[in-house]
Amino acid sequence: MPQADNLTLRHMAGTDALIGQTISHYRIVERLGGGGMGVVYKAQDTRLERFVALKFLPENLAQDKNAMERFRREAKTASALNHPNICTIHDIGEHENGAFIAMECLNGVTLMSLVRNQPMELERVLRISSELADALGATHEKNIIHRDLKPGNIFILESGQAKILDFGLAKICSSADEANDYATLTLTQAGVVMGTLPYMSPEQLQGLRVDHRTDIFSLGAVLYEMATGQQPFPGTSSMEISAAILRDSPKAVREVRAELPEALQEIVDRCLAKEPSARYPSAAEFRDSVERLRLEISSGIRRNASATASAGPSIAVLPFTNMSTDPENEFFADGIAEEIINALTQIEDLRVAARTSTFSFKGRNVDLRIVGDRLNIKTVLEGSVRRAGDLAG
């Protein structure tokens, strides 16, 4: 677990009654911090003579049966994972002060502290994204979904290596019936959606059934923030952020940071697709795309129109024009274009221009050849929508 990178957390250590106590065979050294599902201390393992991080359930939740179940599930879930990019669980125990998890004590900072309105260098962004995809791939192979991937749950070691923390919201998938699939939802309070805005997928936000592709969405949101220094779905309230996740497309990464490659835009857009079926089908495929881009950058290869043209078939679907008199049909017109884009992305070996890229031409009278050149696309599809009632007379 992370050591505190916030002076406020360290200030709290001096007034903590547990400092200096020995619980089981762990001697509490200092308080590192805390969150909604646990308070974390640095402790010395007196048996193995090493430092560990102890995570205790907060006292106000210690008597909560559901919270205790989630806490134990976090330990059981994470202990089944053995991966260099996942925080290692050493032990679990109970004491009069409550249940605790012993895990490796990490030196470094959270990704959240590194990405505070400040974009990261592209190579570092891609390397971290690749490592996170590796870790998620390992969890998904064990039918585990993290469901709360965010910068605060990603730790960057002093060596630069990324580690995923906190599987407190992890959901173990089952091939059993759908009723079992929803069973973990009872472990939280009624009406509370599990996860963290603004990194939640649309289906997660709506309380619908989720699978590993909800982690792909969250990974895309984290990638966007690392690359631009901005969250993809900003807002001043939970309602605004929720509406943006469900309805809006993020500002194009190249609009925020012009030097970013078009390929990165395509990766982000595919991750942040509203429909799970339009996202990467696996963390491994996401990682492959990231690694291809890393290779292009490291070898000095830059995509251009002629290179793309020889690479295979490609298409861009422009936003459809609303030809009716009712402005409400604008949403319908956009929806038709989005559905076509989603359907085309399922065709193997067909490169489909990202929605954010094509919708940047909305309302602009641009020659289709120019659109094709700018997007490095062979074929451009445009269309219009008109209500049947508008044709009368």
- Which residues are tagged catalytic? 148
The three state secondary structure string of the chain is CECCCCHHHHHHHCCCCCCCCEECCEEEEEEEEEECCEEEEEEEECCCCEEEEEEECCHHHCCCHHHHHHHHHHHHHHHCCCCCCECCEEEEEEECCEEEEEEECECEEEHHHHCCCCCCCHHHHHHHHHHHHHHHHHHHHCCEECCCCCHHHEEEECCCCEEECCCCCCEECCCCCHHHHCHHHHHCCCCCCCCCCCCCCHHHHCCCCCCCHHHHHHHHHHHHHHHHCCCCCCCCCHHHHHHHHHHCCCCCHHHHCCCCCHHHHHHHHHHCCCCHHHCCCCHHHHHHHHHHHHHHHHCCCCCCHHHHHCCCCEEEECCCEECCCCCCHHHHHHHHHHHHHHHHCCCCCCEECCHHHHHCCCCCCCCHHHHHHHHCCCEEECCEECCHHHHCC
Contact between 390 and 322 under an 8 Å Cβ cutoff? The reply is no
Residue 142 CA to residue 126 CA, distance in Å, equals 25
Strands 321-322 and 384-385: parallel
